[in-house]
Structures are given as structure tokens and as C-alpha cells.
Amino acid sequence: MIIVMKKGAGQAELAAVEAKIIELGYAPHIIYGETRNVIGAVGEEHGKEKLQILQSMPGVENVVPILKPYKLASLEVQPTPSAVEIVPGLVIGGKEFVVVGGPCSVESREQICETAVAVKEAGARLLRGGAYKPRTSPYSFQGMEEEGLKLLAEAREITGLPIVTEVVNPRDVELVARYADVMQVGARNTQNFALLKLLGQLDKPILLKRGMATTIQEFLMSAEYVLSEGNRRVILCERGIRTFETATRNTLDISAVPVLKQQTHLPVMIDPSHATGHASLIAPMSYAAAAAGADGLLVEVHPCPEKAASDGPQSLRPADFHAMMKKLREFVKVAERTMAD
Ligand code: PEP
Ligand code: MN
């Protein structure tokens, strides 16, 4: 249920409603608005009618059901876009179109530091790199693990770029959180609910990728798992879905951007590397992402893609990334967004 408070209702009235929601067995999530505040009361669907009693409390304007199965992720609860703060001065979901660049996997100090400097130079605002890799084959490179996290931290030290890195296993959440600025949930873990619940208890932004066979509604329900645990800083990332087409690694569902924007206040990014599987398709899909209204990109960049331990064919060389970023600025401008120099 959504409890809409009256304009001018005070803190004491808000607190009383909040306490009553808890007493009724629901979890209150307050959304502070410009003119009025609303409280999302989430919990068991069965029996939620009893929340109607809140209607008679001082300061309450209205009590309305949330129609969507995802509650906190919905525009019903929060009609204004969420601007997710990564570090002071850097927000995803605001006016700025934010690009994350870096290799699929962290491979060595030279590789990650060289890439970090290059992507920063081109205008990327965050560095990506996997230290734990969810590989299709158990015989493929699985990542440098904590050693990789330490190298990412070194690259952050050198460039000042915050780092995005994937956590694959609930067992590693605490360790990865010690190094990461943004915790990535990969496509293979979109519906790993135990992992999502743990991430919901962190005070850290979560970059949640869409699973390769996950509907938009299921994707939003996964976001809801994180939100319902109290972590409001969720960023969605469309990275292509499985279709019959084999010319590309996946099929980029570009319409997911405006569709998601019609359903949720959460920021939406596009990963053109995993979506296509081909470096030559990254630039056009990046421009399409900006045009479609995405909040940013996650792009794989490697100093020497032919030698990459993973995903070389879908990684841009630094010079090509630089060229793509230059042209991207024009599309971003048309989309009435800004981009870092
Ligand atoms: C990645 O970002 O390197 C990755 C494994 O992506 P996805 O989970 O989208 O396949
Ligand atoms: Mn990859």
C-alpha cells in the first residue's frame, strides 16, 4: 500500500504512521518528496486491507494499493527518477550520461592500470573489471579473486575512478564490498535471491544486470529483492537477452530502456559489449542507448583484446573507445544529457 501524507504533515505524524505500519506487520519505506511525503508499506499481499485503517490517522491524505507486483521499484511509490550516488559528485540517473569502462577481467597490474588511465582519459567516470568471473566452462579463467580486487584498488588510487566489480557468490559479498564502490550482479545471478538479499543489506550501490532469459517484470522483481532489504541504490543494466539470432552473442533489447523508464524510477544502463559480442557493434549500440534514454553504459575495454583472458572479441581498444566516446557526446547532447570531458 502507498500511504500518501498530506502537504505540510509533520515529522511526528509521519513517525506515528510508520510505527503503526510496523505494528501491523509491514515494512515502511519513506520517500521524501518536494511537496509531500509518501510511505510505501510492503509485505504480505494477503491481508493488506488492514492497512486501510491508516486512512484515519492524522496527516494521512490517502491510502492506495500498489498495483504492480514490484512495489519499491515502481513509479507508483516513487514517481521521480532515482539519482544513485556512487561517490560524492558522481550520480547515475541524473543529468549526466555516465560511462563505465574497463576490461572484462582483471589480469595484471599493468593491464588494469593502463586501461584505467586510458578510459579516464576518454571520459569514463568509473572503472570496471572482474576479479570473480562466472564462466560458462569450469576450465576457463575464473578470475584473480582478492588479488584482482587489490589491483582494482590500486588503479582507483592512480586514477581516482570508482570501481565496479562483480560478486558471484554470497560467501564473497563482505570481501568484495571492502574494495568495490559498486557491486555488480551478473546475468547468471539475476535471480540468485540469497545473493540479492545480502546485497540489500549493504550500504553500497548495486549494478544489477538483466538475466539472459529474464522478463522485464522478473528483472524488476529482482531489483525489489535488494530494495526491500533497505538498499535503495540499485542501477539496472540491460546486457542483451537470448533469442534465436546467432549473428550477435545476445540480442540487445533496446526497448527495455523506455519500457523500464515507464515502470521504474531506477536508473537504466546498457552494456553493448555483452549484448553484441562484437567490438565493431559497440559504438552503434552505444549511440542507440543514449538515444533511447539510457543513463549510461558499461563497456569492455582492453589494451590488447586479442590477448584478453575473457571477452576479447567484445572489447574495444583504448583508441577505439576514445573515438566512440567523442561521437557519443553528440548523441548525448541531442538526448539533453551531459557527459564528462
Ligand atoms: C561481465 O560484465 O563481465 C559479465 C560477466 O557480464 P554478464 O553477467 O552480463 O554476462
Ligand atoms: Mn565480460
User: Cell triple for residue 160?
Assistant: 581516482
Is the pLDDT at 33 greater than 90? The verdict is no
Q: Among the CATH numbers 3.90.1150.10, 3.40.190.10, 3.40.50.620, 3.20.20.70, which is that of 84-334?
A: 3.20.20.70
Domains 2-64 and 84-334 share a fold: no
Nearest in space to 321 (alpha carbons), one of 338, 295, 289, 298: 298
Q: What is the Cα–Cα distance from 294 to 332, expressed in whole angstroms? A: 10
Question: How many angstroms separate the most distant Cα atoms in the chain?
Answer: 67
CB 239 less than 6 A from any atom of ligand 1? yes
Ligand 1 pocket, 337 CB below 6 A? Answer: no
Binning the chain into helix, strand and coil, the percentages to the nearest 5 are 40, 20, 40
- The rounded Å distance from CA 186 to ligand 1 centre is 5
pLDDT band at 85 (very low <50, low <70, confident <90, very high): very high
Rounded CA gap, 190 and 213, in Å?
A: 10
CB-ligand 1 contact for 186 (6 Å cutoff): yes
Average confidence (pLDDT) over 119-135: 97
Number of H helices, E strands in the chain: 10, 14
- Counting ligands in written order, the one closest to the CA of 239 is 1
pLDDT of residue 259: 98
In this predicted structure, what is the pLDDT of residue 244?
Answer: 98
**Listed range (22-36, 135-149, 295-309) with the worst mean pLDDT:** 22-36
How many angstroms separate the alpha carbon of residue 103 from the centre of ligand 2? Answer: 7
Which residue is closest in CA terms to ligand 1's atom 10? 187
Establish whether residue 302 lines the binding site of ligand 1, counting it when its CB lies within 6 angstroms of any ligand atom.
Answer: no
Calculate the CA 296 to chain-centre distance.
10
Indicate the pLDDT class of residue 168, thresholds 50, 70 and 90: very high
Whose cell is 577505439? That residue is: 320
Cα of 187 vs centre of ligand 1, distance in Å, is: 6
Q: How many CA atoms lie within 13 A of 88 on its CB side?
A: 0
Mean pLDDT of 2-15: 95
- pLDDT, the chain, mean: 97
> Is the pLDDT at 45 greater than 90, yes or no?
no
Cα distances (Å, whole numbers) of residue 259 to 1, 211, 263, 286 = 23, 16, 7, 18
Element (H, E) at 164: strand 163-166
The bound ligand whose nearest atom lies closest to the alpha carbon of 314 is: 2
What is the residue extent of each domain of the chain? 2-64, 84-334
287-325 as b/e, with b when 16 or more CB fall inside 10 Å?
A: bbbbebebbbbbbbbbbebeebbbbbebbbbbebbbebb
* Separation between Cα atoms, residue 274 and residue 241, nearest integer Å: 10
pTM score, two decimals? 0.95
User: What is the tens place of the pLDDT at every residue in 178-224?
Assistant: 999 999 999 999 999 999 999 999 999 999 999 999 999 999 999 99
Per-residue model confidence as pLDDT tens digits over 243-297: 999 999 999 999 999 999 999 999 999 999 999 999 999 999 999 999 999 999 9
Q: Where are the alpha helices (DSSP H) in 24-163?
A: 109-122, 146-159
Domain 2-64 class, CATH top level: alpha beta
